[in-house]
Amino acid sequence: MSLNVKAIRKQFGTRQILNSVDFEVQPHDIHAIVGVSGSGKSTILRIIAGLETTDGGDVLWNNKSLLNIPAHKRRVTMLSQSALLFPHLTVGENVTLATRSRSRKQAEEWLQVVRLGDRYDAEIHELSGGEQQRVSLARALAAEPELLLLDEPFTNLDPKLKVDLQRFIRDLVKELKLTAILVTHDREEAMLMADRVTLLESGEVTRTGTVEQLYDTAPGFGDFVMLEGELRPLAEVEVSETAGEPVQLMKKIYRFGQCFGEYHFEDGRSVMLSTEESFQIGMMYRIKRKEG
């Protein structure tokens, strides 16, 4: 089941937030919408969720318009920056409430999935930020959504937890064959989690494509690297063992059968580049312009 966002427009007061936004989300994909603050990316999610109206355009789910369907009937759930758990309910009650048959058993199963199976009776304030976000994920999944909306859900987490949860959610979405839209300002996060990416700038789509396509072609997608005294997009550089500026490979991330490496310069900058698996973590390499 695919989602089609067609020529959506939205204005708040005199400010045009979205200006004819078009993109398509493929079934079972994680689709990232990447843009800076104020680019309108969260507004798109809110429109899809039914929490905001549009001034024009349409949102089609399986070729049927979602716009006239109330939020609670859309089979869409949303995970936000804050966990937004209901404070008067326990962990388990929050999840049970979201299950379609109000079943404790199902809620317990979802809590097991997010590795919080033993916290059913815990109060919300007893949980850490990361645990609360996992409960929020369990609640979102317990509703058996067809579409999962992720509105910068990793923003308030510490770096270690952030990476863990990013991977955890990506694996889970893939395992459950869900379709998800991730809104983020963090291009690295989009690259790690998404199958396809839409770049948004001042309420307009500047580019849409797979992560690989954008990584290779979109100017500005991915970090820039100072090389030979000039700022260059990552797509123009490569790692070798022989010549160029020295960097150290800190970690490898495998995605889509391709290996990405996170390299650190001595001055603290870091970049991500696709690389060969044979490179060793912790060793010094050279970063240089791509041949040709």
Partner 1 sequence: MIRQVLIISLVLIPFVSLFLAIPAIEFENREAIFHSIGLIVLLSAINVWLATAFAWWLLWTESKWRYILEWLVFLPLFIPMLATLFGLYLILAEAGLIGTYIGVSLGLLVVTLPYSIRLAYNGMAVIGRPLLEQARLLPMRRRFVYVLFPLFSRTMRTIALFTTVILLSQFALIQLIGAGLIPTVTTELYQSYAGNNLSLALSNTWMLIFFPVLIYFLLSGWSRWMVRMLKGRLQ
Q: Which two tokens stand for residue 23?
A: 């993109």
Among 16, 19, 20, 82, binds partner 1 (CB under 8 A): 82
Under the binding rule (CB under 8 A), the answer on residue 102 touching partner 1 is yes
Under the binding rule (CB under 8 A), the answer on residue 69 touching partner 1 is no
The nearer residue to partner 1, 90 or 198, going by C-beta atoms, is 90
Under the binding rule (CB under 8 A), the answer on residue 125 touching partner 1 is no
Q: How near is the Cβ of 87 to partner 1 at its closest, in Å? A: 8
Under the binding rule (CB under 8 A), the answer on residue 71 touching partner 1 is yes
Q: Which two tokens stand for residue 83?
A: 């966990």
Among 7, 36, 51, 284, binds partner 1 (CB under 8 A): 51
Contacts 24+ apart (CB under 8 A), 187-192: 187/34, 187/221, 187/222, 187/223, 188/222, 188/223, 188/272, 189/32, 189/154, 190/32, 190/34, 191/215, 191/222, 191/255, 191/260, 191/272, 192/166, 192/167, 192/253, 192/255
Chain positions 140 to 169 lying near partner 1, rule: CB under 8 A, are 143
What's the CA gap between 29 and 256, in Å, rounded? 12
Under the binding rule (CB under 8 A), the answer on residue 53 touching partner 1 is yes
Cβ neighbours around 250 below 10 Å, total: 13
The nearer residue to partner 1, 64 or 102, going by C-beta atoms, is 102
Under the binding rule (CB under 8 A), the answer on residue 76 touching partner 1 is yes
Closest-CA residue to 134 (of 148, 109, 153, 121): 153
Under the binding rule (CB under 8 A), the answer on residue 86 touching partner 1 is yes
Among 39, 43, 80, 198, binds partner 1 (CB under 8 A): 80
Sheet holding 3-12, edge to edge: 15-25, 3-12, 56-61, 64-65
Under the binding rule (CB under 8 A), the answer on residue 43 touching partner 1 is no
Q: How near is the Cβ of 59 to partner 1 at its closest, in Å? A: 16
Quickly count helices (H) and strands (E) in the chain: 7, 17
Under the binding rule (CB under 8 A), the answer on residue 72 touching partner 1 is yes
Q: Which two tokens stand for residue 135?
A: 């409960």
Under the binding rule (CB under 8 A), the answer on residue 93 touching partner 1 is yes
Q: How near is the Cβ of 65 to partner 1 at its closest, in Å? A: 19
Binding site for partner 1 (CB under 8 A): 49-53, 71-72, 76-78, 80, 82, 84, 86-90, 92-93, 96-98, 102, 104, 143
